[in-house]
Amino acid sequence: MTPEEINRTLEQFKIDMVFRYPFYGDILLRLPIRQDDSVGTACTNGRSILWDAHFFKYLTTAQIRYVLMHEVFHVLLCHPSRANGRRPDIWNVAVDIIVNHYVDQISARLTKEPGLIMNRPPSGIFRDTSYNETAENLYAMILEDNRDRAPGSGRLLLRNTYRDPKSLGRNGKVELQEVKIDCDLILGETLSKAEQEELERMIGRLIQDASSHEPGSGGSLPLPRELLTLTRHKPLDWRRILKDFLSEAQSDDTSYVTPERKYLHMDLILPGHGLSEEGELEQAWAFIDSSGSVGQDALRAFLTQLYLIAKDFNCQMNIAYWDTEVTDVYEKLRNEKQVLTAQPTHSGGTDINCVYRYVRDRHLKPLVTLILTDGYFGTPDPMLKKALDPRSTILLLCNDSVNPVYSTVGRVCRLDPS
């Protein structure tokens, strides 16, 4: 493959990812990717990706895509700047194992998508490991196995697997093997503090915004949970967002969430009233996942804060519990006892589409909607999802799960942002 053909392959892959999986596509568009025939393979310094034509010309198109995504993950996870004086050879191997595991997870999802299929290149270090394993933990294991080996030999002892030995079964066995290694991180060109902070801001913005497009027909691609811990942005405070929303609605007695229907036949969308005759803010809904993912202490704390906010804004609060169906519904709650005793009586699986279906079938027009869940709720149906406006929906997660589909549901927050 010639350098021109390689460039066309890279550019086409960027375009395909932007349209199908915009989170990764936006990153590919933002990263400088250029040819440098002095690097030997492909590598990154954390701010750009370099590739050697002599290395790429022997790879297939699917293998080039794999290598490119491998380097993208190094940048996303800030691997060059996270080395922090560690042995370069061992650090490079540790992060390569982590990254290849992520790319394998993605390539397994893309096996039926022409233009996006990725295959492992002939060289590389591939080891099974936990999806949530950190590079620092893996580095410590590899360092322990190679304490008697001096740096610079180009070979390391690696385990055949880095999974927990208890998960290997009765016949599973951990063995050490000597492996020749290559490095693809440029650790001498570390990012300045300003560059590192800008990269973290970019990743934070992408997590919140770049995945707000509709996911492709193949569904969303997995994201490393490390991304949340690496960005310095504090999680959005759901209480602040809810208060701001209610404050805006209270100061303006009209709302586009509930438009005046008498003008719709004229193709005019004019704001309707958001207040009841008693001056209360109407149609604030909280849908709470009752599948068991939200603990009792967390639920009570949430309900208490919800009541206090509703009281401050003279707001009617409606609470509904859901798993695969909306099962327990408590409407027009006005005092603390009513809110705190609004408890679930049923628990099952998890399917967020039941929330959309409930809102649609009852013709609800919530002024603001909170959806409390652990984030493992299936794939929203694009047609059903139209029942709720994501601009007035807060998706409240009770853990650190990550998925590009979240920001298509609403504003993504954590139950405890502190």
Indicate whether 301 pLDDT > 60. Answer: yes
pLDDT band at 109 (very low <50, low <70, confident <90, very high): confident
* Rounded Cα gap, residues 341 and 319, in angstroms: 11
pLDDT band at 188 (very low <50, low <70, confident <90, very high): low
Res 369: pLDDT? 93
pTM for this predicted structure: 0.55
Indicate whether 195 pLDDT > 50. Answer: yes
pLDDT band at 12 (very low <50, low <70, confident <90, very high): very high
pLDDT band at 219 (very low <50, low <70, confident <90, very high): very low
pLDDT band at 282 (very low <50, low <70, confident <90, very high): low
Q: How many residues does the chain have?
A: 418
pLDDT band at 222 (very low <50, low <70, confident <90, very high): low
More confident call, 45 vs 262: 45
Indicate whether 128 pLDDT > 80. Answer: yes
Res 278: pLDDT? 41
What mean pLDDT value characterizes the chain?
79
DSSP 260-300: -GGGGGGT----EE-B-TTSPEEEEEEEEE-SS-S-HHHHH
pLDDT band at 132 (very low <50, low <70, confident <90, very high): low
Indicate whether 229 pLDDT > 70. Answer: no
Res 64: pLDDT? 96
pLDDT tens-digit readout, 305-363: 888 888 888 887 899 999 989 989 999 887 888 888 888 887 778 889 999 999 999 99
DSSP H helical ranges for 256-368: 296-312, 336-340, 353-361
Locate 217 and state its tokens: 């027909």
Res 402: pLDDT? 64
More confident call, 94 vs 150: 94
Q: Three-state DSSP class for 51?
A: strand
Locate 172 and state its tokens: 């599973």
More confident call, 289 vs 406: 289
Q: Which of 70-84, 190-204, 393-407 has the highest mean pLDDT?
A: 70-84
Mean pLDDT of 130-145: 82
pLDDT band at 417 (very low <50, low <70, confident <90, very high): low
Res 406: pLDDT? 81
CA–centroid distance for 196 within its chain? 20
Res 255: pLDDT? 40
Nearest of 40, 47, 55, 37 to residue 80 by alpha carbon: 47
CA–centroid distance for 36 within its chain? 32
Q: For the chain, which residues make up each domain, given as ranges?
A: 3-230, 238-414
pLDDT tens-digit readout, 158-185: 998 887 666 666 677 888 888 888 777 6
More confident call, 345 vs 62: 62
pLDDT tens-digit readout, 23-42: 888 888 888 999 999 988 99
Locate 20 and state its tokens: 């199908």
- For 238-414, CATH gives 3.40.50
Mean pLDDT of 57-81: 91
Indicate whether 263 pLDDT > 60. Answer: no
Bridge partners of 177, per DSSP, are 158
Indicate whether 261 pLDDT > 70. Answer: no
DSSP assigned state of 208: I
